[in-house]
Structure 1
Amino acid sequence: MELKVLTLLACLAGSMGSALAAEGELSIGTEGAYPPWSMSDANGNVTGFDADVGALLCTKLAVTCHFVVQAFDGLIPALKAKRFDVIISGMSITADRKKEINFSVGYAELANMFVAAKGSDLAAITDVDTLLKSLDGKKVGVQAGTTHAHFLEKRAPNADLKTYDTLDQMQIDLASGRIDTAFADQSALQDFLDKPDGKNFQLIGVEIKSTFDPTLGEGIGVGIAQENTELKAKIDKALCELIADGSVGKASQKWFKTDISRPCK
């Protein structure tokens, strides 16, 4: 499924947010640089798991989808400024984010992991407490504005945290040895390992799920403006139906080779 990015003019941003859904269109903010969740190309096509989830959701709601590419740490401010209707961008549901925006039911969940050079002292660690302690003084890469960054600030305060705007920037520094390790969701790190630059690296054998620390959130959800309760109700219903009929699971198998859909409670 490929969707063209719609560029929204700044002068219209304040008035378009909630109107688009009402008029049969839904504008979706996404990062577009976090494979395999969301990728955008030079022609303005958006692909990935979240693009497929967005397309499924829009079909279920009988609306036309438009994706708007935005840096991850600017997604919530842009949603609040009504530059688009919702966020679908691998965004974890957290208590801090719920102070700013609302979320749909969680539709996916994937373990978080670290990656390090093969043969390094970090690569051999197999338990989370030892791993977090071993990050003291290490240069650790993480994407800015993510739950991964907040988790490390809390759980590894003595690590030398290096933040990046995009995953690609973090991978470049990892491959060049400017950082010792990086923390992200398992799929994003696997994307790095599958590239030539990742051949000398491996996942550290410690999976950190969201249940380990509330900082990591309550699964991945669709971000929605707090005042847009009607749209939230529609999206919740549609997502639960898409999860129940296997559509989200099928999309997840396509991109992750496993079912990461999160059943509605």
Structure 2
Amino acid sequence: MKLKSLLLTTFFAAGLTAAQAAEGELSIGTEGAYPPWSMADAAGNVTGFDADVGNLLCAKLELKCRFVVQAFDGLIPALKAKRFDVIISGMSITEDRRKEIDFSIGYAELANMFVAPKGSDLAGIEDFDSLIKALDGRKIGVQAGTTHAHYLEKNAPNADLKTYDTLDQMQIDLASGRVETAFSDVSALDDFLAKPEGKDFQLVDVKIASSSDPTLGEGIGVGIAKENTDLKTRVDKALCELVADGSIGKASETWFKTDISRPCQ
């Protein structure tokens, strides 16, 4: 019993949680329904940029990866309940989320845009002020619990927001005309436009940088429980190395056709 306690103490000193000490793995919470960030098949296999980042991180930490699929708005409660060790799910770092959990350094950043039917008055807008004014009274699709939802609540208070648990649900309503436009990051909207149901839509030519408003966060980070400070230190170091050696940039080019990695600050 004393030997077991000593071994566990050694594991914790190296920055591992109890679950990792027992299994030699890092359990990762991810949405699994937000292409190309995170996609889960019927067997629970996860692919996408988040999966690539997770696997790169596990390799650096010399741990086995185990992905746990969880609805996006349930990720933070599940992390706090210790269902998994970290969140890797395209999650933006925001002050509100920092009240609940800690974050790694920001390792990626992507612009945010609206999508609208071709030929609509929204589709032709080219400046930010005109766009925000035109959103008054519009039915806008947005995923629940995201920075995009918080951004619209703050900046388009007179819009009629329709929130969805998944991106697929939002896209179905967009294609059927139940919402007039949708707001998300460029990658998610590009995925919609590439589908047959997206052929009659286009991006509104106004890019909204995440750095333009605190509600959009400070880049994408790994979510970590507040008490797990040793793991945060190790994750930060590993992510900095993965950005510096181009590994995260290469993964992002695979999924987004551009390098969205963000240097350590």
Q: Give me the TM-score of the superposition, normalised by structure 2.
A: 0.93
Measured in 1, the distance between the counterparts of 2:242 and 2:104 equals 13
Deviation at 1:142, TM superposition (A): 0.1
Measured in 2, the distance between the counterparts of 1:77 and 1:133 equals 35
1:21 partner letter: Q
Partner of 2:185: 185
Unaligned 5+ segments in structure 1 are 1-16
Count of aligned pairs between the two proteins: 249
Q: Would you say the 8 A contact 1:92–1:147 is kept in 2?
A: yes
Partner of 1:79: 79
Deviation at 1:93, TM superposition (A): 0.1
Measured in 1, the distance between the counterparts of 2:242 and 2:211 equals 24
Question: What CA deviation, in whole Å up to 9, does each residue of 1:54-81 have, x standing for no partner?
Answer: 0000000000000000000000000000
Partner of 1:166: 166
Measured in 2, the distance between the counterparts of 1:129 and 1:71 equals 33
How is 1:1-265 mapped onto 2 (pairs within 5 angstroms)?
18-23=17-22, 24-265=24-265
CA RMSD of aligned residues (A): 0.9
Q: Secondary structure at the match of 1:89?
A: coil
Measured in 2, the distance between the counterparts of 1:159 and 1:29 equals 32
Deviation at 1:21, TM superposition (A): 2.6
Range with bigger deviation, 67-76 or 18-27: 18-27
Measured in 2, the distance between the counterparts of 1:193 and 1:105 equals 31
- Calculate percent identity across the aligned residue pairs: 79
Measured in 1, the distance between the counterparts of 2:85 and 2:249 equals 24
Measured in 2, the distance between the counterparts of 1:87 and 1:163 equals 22
Q: Would you say the 8 A contact 1:18–1:82 is kept in 2?
A: no
Deviation at 1:19, TM superposition (A): 1.5
Deviation at 1:20, TM superposition (A): 2.2
Higher Cα Rg: structure 1 or 2? 2
Measured in 2, the distance between the counterparts of 1:54 and 1:93 equals 17
Deviation at 1:18, TM superposition (A): 2.9
Deviation at 1:127, TM superposition (A): 1.0
Question: What CA deviation, in whole Å up to 9, does each residue of 1:216-251 have, x standing for no partner?
Answer: 000000000000000000000000000000000000
Question: What CA deviation, in whole Å up to 9, does each residue of 1:120-178 have, x standing for no partner?
Answer: 00000111111111000100000000000000000000000000000000000000000
Q: Secondary structure at the match of 2:83?
A: coil
Measured in 2, the distance between the counterparts of 1:21 and 1:183 equals 37
Q: Secondary structure at the match of 2:145?
A: coil
Question: What CA deviation, in whole Å up to 9, does each residue of 1:21-56 have, x standing for no partner?
Answer: 334210000000000000000121100000000000
Q: Would you say the 8 A contact 1:38–1:46 is kept in 2?
A: yes
Measured in 1, the distance between the counterparts of 2:68 and 2:35 equals 16
Measured in 1, the distance between the counterparts of 2:258 and 2:252 equals 6
Measured in 1, the distance between the counterparts of 2:221 and 2:250 equals 17
Q: Secondary structure at the match of 1:158?
A: coil
Q: Secondary structure at the match of 2:17?
A: helix
Partner of 2:13: none
